[in-house]
Structures are given as C-alpha cells and as structure tokens.
Amino acid sequence: MSVRRIAFVALIYMSFSISIIFSNKLVLTTFKFPSYLLLALIQTLFTFILIQTLCSYRIRSDDFTEVPIKILPLSIFSAVDIVMGIAGTGSLSLPLFTALRRISNVLIMVGEYLLLGTKRSIPIYLSVIVMVIGAVIAAIGDITFDPIGYTYILINNISTTGKALLTKSRLRDYDFSSVELLYFNSLLMLPILFILVYVQCDFTEIIQFEHWLDPLFLLYFMFSCCSAVALNYTLVQCTQYTSALTTSILGVIKNILVTYGGMFVGGDYVYTTLNFTGLTVSTIGAVLYVVYNYKSTQSKSLPTKSRTLIGPLT
C-alpha cells in the first residue's frame, strides 16, 4: 500500500473514531438511551448488512466451514470490546475515558513483543509509559469516581488488546482480506450480542423510550451506526498495513481532540487541577510517541529508500 493510501486510511480512521465517540456519548448521556447493549448490537448488525449488500462479491464462501475456528476468538474479543467501549463512554466523562483507554497501549506493546516479535526503541517505550502515568494521575484526580465505569474501561482495555493482536494475526496467517475479516467477524459477533441483549435488556423500557420520534436523536443514532461501519473497516485496514500498536496510537492522537473537546460534551466532566494535569501529561506522551515513531521509521527506511508513514512491524 502506498504512503498516500496509508495516510488516507489513517485520516479516515481517526475521523470516524472521533465521530462515533461523540455520537455514542450524545445518544447515551444526553438522550439517555437505556441500552448500550442494544446500541452495540445495532451497530454490528448495520455493519454486517451493509457489507452483505455492497461487498458480497468480495467474500469467499468456498471454505466457510473453517471460518468459525479461525475467527471466533476474534469475534468474542470484538463483542466484548464494542460492548465495554460503549458502556464506558456512557459511564465516564470523555476526557477521563480517553485517558484510561491509553492503558491498552502498554498491553498491546507487551502482546506484540510476546506474540508477534515486535521490538521498539527505548524512547517509544518511554513515551507510552508517559501516557499511562498521565492516565493514572487523571484517575487519582477524578472526584466523580465510578467503580462500574472504571471496570468497563479495564475490561475494554483487555479486549482491545486481544482484538488488535488477533486481527493482525488473522490477516497475516489466514490470508483474509479486510472486507472478509470484517464480514465474518460481524457475522459471528451477532449471536453473542443477541444473547446478551435478550438476557440483559429491559424491552419495555426500550419500547417506551421517549426520544424515538426525536429527529435529532435519530440523526445521532444513525450517524453512530454509520460511523461504526467505517471505523471497523478502516481499523482492519490500519492493522493490516501497520502494527497493532500503531493503530492504537492513531486512536490516541485523535483522542487529543476528544480529550479537550469532550470537556464540553455530555455535561459530566468535573474539572480538578490534578485531573487536568494528568490528561495533559497523557496527551504529551501521545505526541512524543508520534515524534519518536516517525524518527524510527525514517532511520529504518533510509537504506532501502522506502518511505512509510507509520512504523513497520519488525
């Protein structure tokens, strides 16, 4: 893939990452939609239907019997990831949510080293540690501590790590295309999410939800679903052509906007000096990672005259 194509995919990924976080926040917090599980199910169903409608000709069906064995572990992690991500968005303020999500980068970095053999320079390791230290400081300064919300984020970080590493390995080892992986993953996620919705959801509360006929709510709701499709596709593309950690860090960079813009969305951010300082330290760590990763990429590309925008998998 060319440098321009990688840059375009990265830009689209970050754009839809931002839009889905804000739209999910508005749906769950501002409009108080009663079920994050149903929202996760609808987003996944929307993704599956759209791929089935527009891209079915790009899906191989001759060896479908082997697909569940190859994809099911990824689907389980993906189902947990989307559910906990949406639940965390609704439970915590966006600045704190984004800071705590950066802890997943350390887990991914360790997983890449142990499972994929990826090694990185000391400055890159240190920049990721700065991100995590900032997140810890922000959490200490959080006077609205919600143990359930923090639990959601902890599980979300673990599931994000598993999802990122499994996506990379499935694309590398089983020769799936981005569209095929997204299609089969969505297909296998649906039964898991259907069961969770059936067991956990209060359907009376959902049916009686007061904003079903509100045009603004419907706009945010549909935008959330559309963003989910684009986000999932570009996420797989980024992971396929870069590293799992780099894809995660791209998400961190877009979260710079979410961190500070999110202070004014949802109405649930409470400022404290310690919390704001932690958020800023974590953001500085994200910027340092980009700088060090770019320098590392440039030094590795000089001998072969090959230029890549994002750090290669070594």
What is the mean predicted confidence (pLDDT) over 101-125?
Answer: 83
Give CA–CA dist 201/146, Å, rounded: 22
Q: Residue type at 267?
A: G
Look up residue 210 and give its DSSP letter.
Answer: T
* 11-15, 274-278, 294-298: the lowest-pLDDT one: 294-298
What pLDDT score was predicted for residue 259? 85
Paired tokens of 134: 């900032």
Q: Model-level pTM?
A: 0.80
For helices 94-101 and 273-301, angle between their N-to-C axes, nearest 10 degrees: 40
Radius of gyration, CA atoms only, the chain:
19
Question: Residue 147, class by beta-carbon neighbours within 10 Å (0-12 exposed, 13-18 middle, 19+ buried)?
Answer: exposed
Give CA–CA dist 192/272, Å, rounded: 40
What is the mean predicted confidence (pLDDT) over 300-311?
Answer: 43
Query: Measured on CA atoms in the order 63, 117, 230, 81, is the torsion positive or negative?
Result: positive
Give residue-wise pLDDT tens across range 175-229.
788 888 888 999 999 999 999 999 999 999 999 999 999 999 999 999 998 888 8
What is the mean predicted confidence (pLDDT) over 41-68?
Answer: 82
Residue 96 domain-assigned? yes
Question: Residue 12, class by beta-carbon neighbours within 10 Å (0-12 exposed, 13-18 middle, 19+ buried)?
Answer: middle
Residue 54 domain-assigned? yes
Residue 311 domain-assigned? no
Residue 313 domain-assigned? no
Quickly list DSSP for 245-283. HHHHHHHHHHHHHHHHHGGGSSS-----HHHHHHHHHHH
Paired tokens of 28: 């769950």
Our CA angle for 119, 2, 123, nearest 5°, is 25
What is the mean predicted confidence (pLDDT) over 120-135?
Answer: 89
Residue 314 domain-assigned? no
Residue 279 domain-assigned? yes
Residue 308 domain-assigned? no
The number of distinct structural domains making up the chain is 1
Of the pLDDT bands very low, low, confident and very high (cuts 50, 70, 90), residue 73 is very high
Residue numbers of the domain that contains 13: 3-301
Residue 309 domain-assigned? no
